[in-house]
Structure 1
Amino acid sequence: MIYRKQFLKDTTITAAGIFCVLLAVLVFTQGINLLGRAADGRVAAEAVAALIGFWTLGMTPLLLVLTAYISILTVLTRYWRDSEMAVWLACGLGLRQWLRPISAFTLPLAVLAAVLQLAVLPQAERHSREYADILKHKQNLSLVESGVFRELGKKNGRVYFVEHFDAEAGKMQRLFLRESRPDGGDSVIFARSGHFDLRDNVRTLVLEQGYRYTGAAGRGDFEQISFDQLRLALNSPHKPAETAHRRTLPTAELLRNPAPQYRAELMWRVSLPISLLLLGWLALPLSYVDTRSGQSYHVIIASLFFLVYQNGLTLLRDMVEDGKIPFLAGLLPMHLLMGGCVWLLLRMRSMPAMPFGRALRQALPWARPPK
């Protein structure tokens, strides 16, 4: 049909523009956030671009939901303003006949969102965490500056001071290092020189020609040990950070694991593609505009529906995660509620000339047909 082709053309062009705008805004916002964290040392500077890419990929399913909803709402609103929908209804055709072209537009996006949610994003999340952890780890261990006290790793309260550092040769001259011991004492090391060594993915600080003092201040029990070479392991063989996090687990493993947090993650992965389809249908009755009033209250109502839908899914996911409700009790209610709203609003908007209250009463399933 001609109207289907025109609708798909209009929504595709509109969706492309909306997706680009939303993506640009989100990437710019997240980029500023990551740059600020990199400036504070919480994120490795080299990882900013890669983390923006991983974060953008993770946000793509939600962007697809928003894009489909806004583009359908925008195009159909224009049809109502241009009286095309009024002509459609005057010809004896119903709004339900628009569900097929809307589904033809939203179904590929829902399939894409499902593939991303169920297969691609868990792997991307795992690689993102590994990459950020490795770069942050290397940055903390390799950031050496002459004449400045710095932390060495995140354990034992290690603090070091280097009087002179040759960046090209990687050699440090006249080092001071202090660390806390498990028994409450301190260990202080003075060395003539030193350098970092990396073998089997284990970072080691090699100190040469120095002394080590161990003991507790005020007890008078310090011990002095001289050494020609002392090797301090700064980390164990590196393991990817949080590889068992629920967001990094494959969907097949979530299906096999009955733990509440994994059930909640599975519910969220399944919910977004379903919500994309339902919001596409919901945009059809919400796009109605009374051309004589010139008001745009439908935009506010459409925004409220989206917020209620997404916040409701988030609330139910948290309840599933806490073990308060089972998986199906978290997955089904909001989708059934939105499906019921689609059915009810379609019946109402098929009677645009009728006042809102009367149209609502007539749309209810138990309402009597007008005499």
Structure 2
Amino acid sequence: MIVFRYLSREVLLTLSAVSAVLLVIIMSGRFIKYLAQAAQGLLDPGVLFMIMGFRLPGFLQLILPLGLFLGILLAYGRLYLDSEMTVLSATGMSNKRLLTYTMAPAALVALLTGWLSLGLAPQGVTEVTRILNQQDALTEFDTLVPGRFQAMKDGSRVTYTESLSADRAQLSGVFISEKRFSRDQAEKNKERGITVLVAEKGRQVIQADGSRYLILENGYRYDGNPGQADYRAIQYETYGVLLPKPSVSNEISEREAIPTRELLGSDNPRYQAELQWRLSIPLLVFVVTLLAVPLARVNPRQGRFLKLLPAILLYMAYLALLIGARGQLDKGKIPQDLGLWWVHGLFLLIGLGLFCWTPLHLKLASRRAVKEMAHGQA
């Protein structure tokens, strides 16, 4: 039990460190994307951390298997490098017992990823979809931040206001710059100049059909082309500006939010692909554990990073093949009975081959070394 606790602690500590680093990297990239949308006025900055929190289970379900795989490689690689595994082998630690001990933390990770994949991740996707749908219903007026130039409509409009009332009903010191495009079909999307609106104050008006307008008061409108002196200036007392709804890019598919119980028993190929993908993640944990244990064995003279790159490439091939098979199953090109299971079977055979080849290779190397020593003494 002492050896079991020691090996499990080494694997779990390395798993935690690796997973934490990967989680920070992935969440930072996604947070920057959402932050850019908030800077453009497409998202309310107040919901950014809520979105990241609900996306956390979806990130962890893919990070934990990779973290376990790298954790086994790094932890056991260090033990081989420090000759601790040699000592354990001399006291009766076989490869089968080492694999059995390693399967215990792997089972813990599999239970956690299964809970995330089958339960928490779909719930989180549902909440993120709800938040993004709410943000999609917002207008330029709802996302406006006083004292900041805010680009809208893919940069074709820039809006600014000096101050905004607490109920977001009144603006003061309004500036709007909008590019004009040709309506001629032959010159479609060709820029035809800009329109600049300035006003002392403004307010929002909602029509009966749901459309919203920003009513500007006491201001000027300037029309012209940059670099030319033929601007036209119009003074107005009241001017209405249509507030378009910003489109928030949502990369989350609808089926990812479907509860697992609704996927069970469905004949829809897309639902079956999603169900098998969710079941594949905890199964992936056990297969990569079988792959990692023989790959972690290194020669102390070679260093523990020798097999790290080939092992990562093997893991990437496993995951890429799973994703590709999922896409084919989604399109109905793979029978549902075959599904994604053949990918797990293939890499299970690879893991068994590596696991059986390692002791055989060591025996052959030992016999070769004995023969060389005998030949040298002769």
**Same fold flag (TM > 0.5):** yes
Task: State whether structure 2 residue 142 is matched by structure 1 residue 133.
Answer: no
> What is the aligned partner in structure 2 of residue 86 from structure 1?
86
Q: 2:234 is matched with which residue?
A: none
Q: Distance in 2 between matches of 1:171 and 1:52?
A: 32
* CA spacing shift, 1:204–1:63, aligned 2, 3 Å: same
How does the TM-score come out when normalised to structure 2? Answer: 0.69
What percentage of aligned pairs have identical amino acids?
A: 25
Q: Which residue of 2 aligns with 1:186?
A: none
Q: Which amino acid aligns with 1:350?
A: P
Structure 2 counterpart of 1:312, from 307, 314, 321: 321
Task: Give the CA deviation at 1:198.
Answer: 8.2
Given that 1:69 and 1:283 are in contact with CA atoms closer than 8 Å, whether structure 2 keeps it comes out as yes
Whether 1:334 and 2:343 are equivalent positions in the alignment is yes
Deviations 1:216-262 (A, max 9, x none): xxxxxxxxxxxxxxxx9999xxxxx9998100101111123221211
Residue 74 of structure 1 aligns with which residue?
A: 74
Distance 1:321 1:246 in 2: 11
Matched, 1:106 2:115: no
Structure 2 alignment gaps of length 5 or more: 175-200, 216-241, 369-378
Contact 2:328–2:334 at 8 Å: present in 1 too? yes
Equivalent in the alignment of 1:21 = 21
Report the CA distance between 1:272 and its aligned residue. 0.7
Secondary structure at 1:328 match in 2? coil
1:288: which partner in 2? 297
- Matches of 2:49 and 2:94 in 1, distance apart? 49
Structure 1 pair 136–341 and aligned structure 2 pair: CA distance change class (3 A): same
The answer (yes or no) to whether the contact 1:286–1:301 under 8 Å persists in 2 is: no
**For the Cα contact (< 8 Å) 2:287–2:347, is it kept in 1?**
yes
Instruction: Identify unmatched segments of 5+ residues in structure 1.
Output: 154-158, 175-192, 208-231, 236-240, 360-371
Instruction: Report the residue type matching 1:170 in the other structure.
Output: A
C-alpha offsets along residues 192-216 of structure 1, whole Å, 9 cap, x if unaligned? Answer: x9955789xx786698xxxxxxxxx
How many angstroms apart in 2 are the aligned matches of 1:70 and 1:109? 13
Q: 1:139 to 1:54 in 2, by over 3 A?
A: farther
The alignment partner of 1:351 has SS state of helix
The structure-2 alpha-carbon separation of the partners of 1:86 and 1:37, relative to structure 1 and needing over 3 Å to count, comes to same
What corresponds to 1:115 in structure 2? Answer: 115
C-alpha deviation, 1:323, in angstroms: 0.7
**Is 2:287–2:344's contact at 8 Å kept on the other side of the alignment?**
yes
Aligned counterpart, 1:54: 54
Cα distance, 1:77–1:172 mapped onto 2, change above 3 Å: closer
**Against the structure 1 CA distance between its residues 294 and 104, is the aligned structure 2 distance closer, same or farther, given a 3 Å change threshold?**
closer
1:353 aligns with 2:362: yes
Mapped contact 1:194–1:205 kept (Cα < 8 A): no
Distance change >3 Å, CA 10–CA 194, structure 1 → 2: closer
Give CA-to-partner distance per residue, 1:269-307, whole Å, 9 cap, x none: 111111012112211100010223447331112111101
RMSD: 4.3
Q: Per the alignment, do residues 30 and 194 of structure 1 end up closer, same or farther by CA in structure 2, a change over 3 Å counting?
A: closer
> Is residue 80–residue 297 contact of structure 2 (8 Å, CA) maintained in 1?
yes
Q: What's the CA shift for 1:132?
A: 2.1
On the 8 A contact 1:123/1:248 being kept in 2, the answer is: yes
- Distance in 1 of aligned mates of 2:261 and 2:90: 51
Alignment of 1:238-317 (within 5 A): 245-294=254-303, 296-317=305-326
CA distance 1:233–1:167, shift in 2 (3 Å): closer
Does the aligned pair in 1 maintain the 2:44–2:143 contact within 8 Å? no
CA contact (8 A) 2:7 2:101 kept: yes
Give the TM-score normalised by structure 1. 0.70
